[in-house]
Amino acid sequence: MTAHRRADIAGARRIVVKVGSSSISGTNAHNIKPLVEALAAAHARGVEVVLVSSGAIATGMPYLNLEARPSDLATQQAAAAVGQNVLIYRYQEALRPFAIVAGQVLLTAGDLENATHRSNARRAMERLLGLRILTIVNENDTVATHEIRFGDNDRLAALVAQLIGADALVLLSDIEALYTRPPDEPGATPIDTVAFDDDMTGFQFGSVVVNSVGTGGAATKASAARLAAASGVGVLVTSIDLVTPALNGENIGTWFTPDPDAIPALTTASVDTSHR
């Protein structure tokens, strides 16, 4: 059932959840356990869950004795190669008490631009979900070039939601909602709902934030949410601390209503990967 309202998330058949590097790596690695518990609860009620998880580079950094995100591509790729393995292990260990198996899918922008690769990715993910595997998606940072420098998994999550015809997309970060301007500035107020055709030019989301472990920020989440909503997927933006009420359809975060006239992605010939 397509989620037209927040409350509909509780009854969704297929959900994509995205979590950022800063929320599940370093001193915040402990967040993996409650995140997995929330995903497992949704899985137990029959929901098909796809987790788009950043964090490969950030997770690999300590193993390479790096204190900050590396600036050169080769070291980023090396950190991702080490970190992706550790990250999936942590997720699987957290899933073990629930007898849920994780499956890993690594994608690049090229995979979604090429018709054959896109079809293969969709088929593999459909089969994983049919087998009740909790599918964990990340950008293939070990081989990515342009994307590893400028991309963000918010957009990847929107494209995955579009690719598999998800009923809802939940973008998790470190803040509970989007604000009309940076939340530390005077006059900033939380945004409750964004209609699919709302004009957002008055909102000051700022530029993409690059921190010690990853890239992202309110601007990328708003852009990704608009992309998903335009393809008929309802989107909730909230914090990782609120993942359980988010998946239960409670009135939290910022809700992007889906375009009711959008053609479902599974009936279209391609997925739009162009930047907007």
Domains of the chain: 6-267 (3.40.1160.10)
* Positions in the chain short of pLDDT 50: 147-150, 207-215, 267-276
141 is in an annotated binding site: yes
120 is in an annotated binding site: no
Q: What is the mean pLDDT of the chain?
A: 88
> Tell me, what's the pLDDT at 217?
76
> Tell me, what's the pLDDT at 62?
95
23 is in an annotated binding site: no
239 is in an annotated binding site: no
54 is in an annotated binding site: yes
User: What pTM was estimated for this model as a whole?
Assistant: 0.90
Distance (Å, rounded) from C-alpha 169 to C-alpha 162? 9
> Tell me, what's the pLDDT at 12?
96
173 is in an annotated binding site: yes
Question: For helices 218-230 and 153-163, what crossing angle results, to 10°?
Answer: 10
Torsion of CA 130, 135, 138, 143, to 10 degrees: -60
